[in-house]
């Protein structure tokens, strides 16, 4: 397992899981539903990498960022084809903050915001020119 694993929280984790699979192409690998319909723990994968998520737990001080006035953090994800990923995110209903663009630090990337306000940056290699 990777050394650092993001663990993010959603008010409506079941809906978030469906969105992240549809729009961003994650694979649901594990899900533990709680008796009240919330998600106690879930794991989504993209290649060999994992992101964990769960429903809000206000009693434990863990809530979604959906009501914050600004982005609290960003999740950076490497993908093989940024433009294809962008098209999938658009078709899946993602809020697209930027379009794919080549960056001066050597990657192509775009930004999207999920339904509860988590900002995702999807980045990949620059297209190589063929001579």
More confident residue, 18 or 130: 18
User: What are the beta bridge partners of residue 44?
Assistant: 28, 51
Question: What's residue 7's pLDDT?
Answer: 93
Tens of pLDDT, residues 108-124? 999 999 999 999 999 99
Helix locations, the chain, DSSP H:
13-24, 82-91
pTM of the model: 0.87
Report the C-alpha gap between 42 and 130 in whole angstroms. Answer: 42
Tens of pLDDT, residues 50-92? 999 999 999 999 999 888 888 888 999 999 999 999 999 999 9
In this prediction, residues 125-131 reach a mean pLDDT of: 68
Domains in the chain, CATH or no CATH each: 7-56+64-125 (3.10.180.10)
Question: What's residue 34's pLDDT?
Answer: 95
Is the alpha carbon torsion for 38, 1, 89, 98 positive or negative? positive
User: Pairing between strand 7-10 and 39-46?
Assistant: unpaired
């Amino acid at each position: 397992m990777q050394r650092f694993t993001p663990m993010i929280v959603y008010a409506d984790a079941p809906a978030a899981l469906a969105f992240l699979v549809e729009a961003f192409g994650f694979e649901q690998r594990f899900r533990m539903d709680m008796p009240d319909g919330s998600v106690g723990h879930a794991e989504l994968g993209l290649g060999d990498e994992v992101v964990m998520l769960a429903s809000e737990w206000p009693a434990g001080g863990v809530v979604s960022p959906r009501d914050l006035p600004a982005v609290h953090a960003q999740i950076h994800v490497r993908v093989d084809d940024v433009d294809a990923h962008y098209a999938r995110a658009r078709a899946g209903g993602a809020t697209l903050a930027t379009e794919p663009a080549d960056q001066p630090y050597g990657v192509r990337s775009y930004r999207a915001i999920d339904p509860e306000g988590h900002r995702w940056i999807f980045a990949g290699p620059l297209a190589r020119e063929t001579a």
